[in-house]
A = this chain, B = another copy of it.
Amino acid sequence: MAQARPAPSQPLYERRPGQATSLVKVGDVVFGGKTVVLIGGPCAVENLDQVLDIAGHVRRSGGAMLRGGAWKPRTSPYSFQGLGAEGLPLLAAARAATGLPVVTEVLDPRDVEQAAGAVDMLQIGSRSIQNFPLLREAGASGKPVLLKRGMMTTVHEWLNAAEYVLAAGCRDLVLCERGIRTFENSLRNTLDVGSVAVLKEVTHLPVIVDPSHAAGASRFVIPLARAAVAAGADGLLVEVHNHPEAALSDADQSLTPEQFSQLAESCRAVARAIGRDLQA
């Protein structure tokens, strides 16, 4: 499994001259077309009431898809690590209740099969961008994959990580810019909107943006989201919580349902200004 694969004549991620952006379908959701996909949900799945309540809000506010973390990568071993596999049925219940497809992060190659059986799309998080066994496992899972950029990963390395997923068989891959680590500390990370423009030229893969982790504070999420759409992003991945102040993780950066509605409205207007729309 650790063998080098024979290289194709050009990287699988590469956009050929004139090639359109690939359409990646997750249930009824389509990434890479004319419309912008809004994904919302909690950082971590905490309990059934929480995830059902938030999923309902996301649905009503114009979200097309639900995010929610079962396994959480945390800097400290003493922080809340997520519900693990026990979170998966809660996500399935939220999908059943709202019809929204669900994306969740996997951290361990040994969990990929179980997660793939429960959700609609597997997320590879920033800290796993060069976790090659995990990339291969996710790429071979048969599920669409959302690959977040590492916080200090170049576009070149990011595309090579994508190539691991593609080379393992996946054809439904979406990239997600989420801010990079720089010397500037006024926000949690520096959102690299330029990477969206660069990727649009280099790769046929759809590109979405996570403004929540870049901002690190809820009051900065909407301007970053608007900037992402204006730069050409195919979607947004946004943290929403029904009681942000009591969230078990990422409390500061989670939007309230009301703020999420405002974000949707504001980003819909920007999308239309550049000839696109928000996916219904």
Contacts and interface: CB of A to CB of B under 8 A. Distances in A.
Interface stretch (A22-30, A57-65, A175-183, A250-258): A175-183
A201 B182 contact: no
A177 to B, nearest CB: 11
Contacts of A272: 273
Nearest to A127: B130
A108 interface: yes
A74 to B, nearest CB: 8
B220 A230 contact: no
Contact of A3 (B6, B81, B153, B269): B81
Contacts of A227: 193, 227-228, 230-231
Contacts of A269: 273-274
A93 to B, nearest CB: 20
Contact of A131 (B84, B131, B184): B131
A77 to B, nearest CB: 5
Contacts of A153: 152
B195 A223 contact: no
Q: How large is the interface on A (under 10, 10 to 19, 20 to 34, 35 or more residues)?
A: 35 or more
A258 B241 CA distance: 45
A142 interface: no
A163 to B, nearest CB: 5
Interface string A181-206: 11111110011111111101100000
A226 B73 CA distance: 34
Interface stretch (A31-39, A48-56, A114-122, A154-162): A154-162
A47 interface: no
A76 B75 CA distance: 27
Nearest to A130: B127
Given A4-B81, A77-B167, A127-B130, 16 more contacts: A2-B81, A76-B163, A77-B160, A78-B163, A108-B109, A110-B110, A152-B152, A154-B186, A182-B192, A190-B190, A190-B192, A194-B223, A226-B231, A227-B231, A229-B230, A230-B230
7 contacts: A2-B82, A5-B77, A78-B167, A152-B152, A197-B223, A197-B224, A227-B228
